[in-house]
Structure 1
Amino acid sequence: MATSLKPQPVEAGWITRWWRDSLLLLRGAPSAFAMLYLVLFLLNVAWQPLMLSIPIACGVMAIIFAVAMAVHQGSTQIMDVGRSIRDVPWWPLSRLVVEITLLVTMLLVLTLLLRHYLGALLSHDHLSSAATLHNLRSPEWQNLPEWLRSLMTNGLGTAQTMLSNVFLLLSVGVIVTGITRRGYLALLAGFQAVLVNVRVWLGFLLASLLLQGAITFLSARLHTFAAALLVSILGVALLLLVGLYGWCFVREAFGLPGAQVTKRVVVAVRRPAGA
């Protein structure tokens, strides 16, 4: 889809512009995104080890990007989206995830070696939404079904992980779009895109901190099954929105073509008005 790994600066007004673009994608293929939401829901119900949260988050973003790219190119039916997803370079993506896993493992080993000096910092759970919920020991939290705890922890944790590691989100997008199939080049392009768009990165980072604060606030107030289920459902929706914003970031940073689905949605919306 793109011809260059050189990232471009994103124009001002990206927050509202990407919100509109995300809505256009959702309206362009509601059935495909409803199916994607269901897939994300089921994936997050499953137990996920905390130490693999970053590699798993990269895989989840790859799925969201694959659907967004298919709809972006004009595939609005579920079967067409499925065929487009099949053509995504999954093998290079898996190699990128392996490389990220090795990098995370090295960082964990380094952290263990320096735990004496970092103990005061690492003793707090405020650095990660997933860690906050994983280590929650309140009776109300423990009384919730395990699948619901996993759903909330994984959904919100993955969203916050990607918001705070934008370069990984961009690296996954570079592979999904086929700009490159080399993991180290994708990581380098992700870093460069962040450096070129520091204001956007700060926006994502601020959203990550706000989400962490909200989770810390809510974790002490989830006393009922209904409240926890509502937060979990909204958490999966937030994860999908983070993925769509990430897709818009990839598209604008690396100069991908405009969405074909946008024209179709605009025409579909205007026809009833003119009738």
Structure 2
Amino acid sequence: MATTRGKLVALVTGGGSGIGRATAVRFAELGYSCVVADINEPNAKETLRMLQTPGIAVQVDVTMATSVEAMVTAAVQHFGRIDCAFNCAGVEPIDGKIADTPEDEFDRVMGVNAKGVWLCLKYEIAQMLQQEPVMSDPAKWADKPDVCRFRGVRGSIVNASSVAGLGVVPGTNASYCASKYAVLGLTQTAAAEYAKEGIRVNAVCPGLTATPMMDRALEKAPPGTEETLASLYPVGRIAAPEEVAQAVCWLCSDACPFTTGEHLKIAGGN
């Protein structure tokens, strides 16, 4: 039996900057209480001060199971449950083709971008399985036949992949591409495994986005690179992190109860 949804709780990793920060802010605008998690605790606390709703800042290293488990425990101890999670923590690679990339660099990128998502899924799903399914507006679905009635969910998770997980992006390091392909595989598998348990899992695949990660890359690039990159997109610019945040929050909402195991490309027509 699904229960009526009360206060919503969202967990965001990588919430100290960029897309993660924008998503935490958007969740708060929508009324969610937020758990802002980041390896950089001061940055997470800075995001927390931007929120309009109650929240906590948690330091997390997503490559360590004990740290991820502690993050989920802190969220539940403070708010009682986790309704939505956005696994956004990630790192950019150093430049270089496969033959020029050190083994430890591959391990570093895969550790954060792929293993980190796997660990977050592992502990978020374990918590969600303990939760009663909830429904925000039972009357909205009252006249639907049993076969398609939305009975409520235990939780909704969105993982951060990339257009680099969908195909070759010239100049993008192979370890980064591999990690983002892996995120899509994790997303589809988790969605299939837990669909009948009322847990939805989806992914977003942004194109170039104006984040600190992007800024660091541009600092090492020749002058005019940003304009050149923007010209590759039919819309004539790169994305704002708030635009990705809107997509994440939509995927987490009950506006799309039949949507799971999907990825949403956000790439300005490219």
The TM-score with structure 1 as length reference comes to: 0.27
Relative contact order, higher structure (CA 8 A, sep 6+): 1
The TM-score with structure 2 as length reference comes to: 0.27
